[in-house]
């Protein structure tokens, strides 16, 4: 084998590997989007693996190459939602530097987005206690950075970042659940809840009230794209 032939074969092998990765990513994306529709139609407790297989049109073996349990695919759906939330919230936070204002704005945006969409909001609320923390690594990094800066600057007077983080997640999950359940709550329920949370971080009541009253452009989920068969797609933009 001469050098030219060897080079062509190396290029060919690299191309095949690239195609294989793209195909695998595409199949995973289709599985996750199909799972979103299953959860939307049947709720969270009723679906079984067979429902996801039927909705996606793949073989059982193919499904298990990607996910072993329904909890794993639910986590994947939540991760995609978290990515969209991250992408929507981060631009809103630009220009803010005070850790308390950053935390309050992030919480208000997350609650606003999750509570505006019953299906997506319910998935997010369901996953917070299962994951036991932020819904993906990007969300975890940003949360840790905000709390660390708050402690370092003396803005937050807390003993444990982890405890403060857990309290915030629990508050978010319950506020979204309360709003989605259509319980009778004040129109400013989100602001009241976030203000109370800020006070737990050591922010004075008047200051907390000022922060949660700051004008904020709450983002929303993009309009649903329609997948094959007329179903709604979890993925909003072409990738």
User: What pLDDT, on a 0 to 100 scale, did the predictor assign at position 64?
Assistant: 94
Question: For domain 1-68, which architecture applies?
Answer: Orthogonal Bundle (1.10)
pLDDT score, position 232: 53
Please report the pLDDT score of residue 45 as a whole number.
79
Tell me what pLDDT residue 154 has: 96
Q: CATH 1.10.357.10 spans which residues of the chain?
A: 74-220
Closest by Cα among 108, 122, 106, 110 to 182: 122
Task: With H, G, I as helix, E, B as strand and everything else as coil, classify residue 225.
Answer: strand
Verdict on whether the full-model pTM lies above 0.85 = no
CATH topology for the 74-220 domain: Tetracycline Repressor; domain 2 (1.10.357)
> What was the pLDDT predicted at 151?
96
Q: In the chain, which segments carry CATH 1.10.10.60? A: 1-68
Q: Which residues of the chain have pLDDT under 50?
A: 225-230, 236-239
Q: Given this model, what pLDDT does residue 61 score?
A: 93
């Amino acid at each position: 084998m001469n050098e030219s032939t060897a080079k062509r074969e190396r290029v060919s092998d690299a191309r095949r590997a690239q195609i294989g990765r793209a195909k695998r990513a595409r199949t995973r994306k289709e599985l996750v989007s199909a799972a979103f529709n299953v959860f939307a139609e049947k709720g969270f407790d009723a679906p079984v693996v067979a429902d996801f297989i039927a909705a996606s049109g793949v073989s059982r073996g193919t499904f298990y190459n990607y996910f072993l349990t329904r909890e794993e695919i639910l986590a994947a759906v939540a991760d995609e939602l978290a990515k969209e939330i991250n992408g929507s919230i981060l631009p809103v936070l630009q220009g803010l530097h005070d850790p308390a204002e950053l935390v309050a704005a992030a919480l208000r945006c997350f609650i606003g987005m999750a509570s505006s969409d019953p299906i997506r909001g319910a998935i997010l609320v369901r996953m917070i206690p299962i994951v036991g923390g932020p819904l993906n690594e990007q969300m975890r990094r940003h949360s840790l950075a905000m709390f660390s800066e708050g402690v370092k600057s003396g803005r937050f007077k807390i003993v444990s970042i982890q405890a403060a983080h857990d309290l915030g997640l629990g508050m978010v999950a319950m506020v979204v659940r309360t709003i989605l359940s259509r319980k009778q709550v004040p129109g400013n329920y989100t602001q009241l809840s976030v203000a109370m949370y800020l006070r737990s971080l050591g922010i004075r009541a008047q200051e907390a009230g000022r922060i949660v009253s700051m004008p904020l452009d709450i983002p929303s989920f993009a309009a649903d794209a329609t997948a094959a068969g007329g179903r709604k797609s979890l993925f909003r933009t072409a990738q």
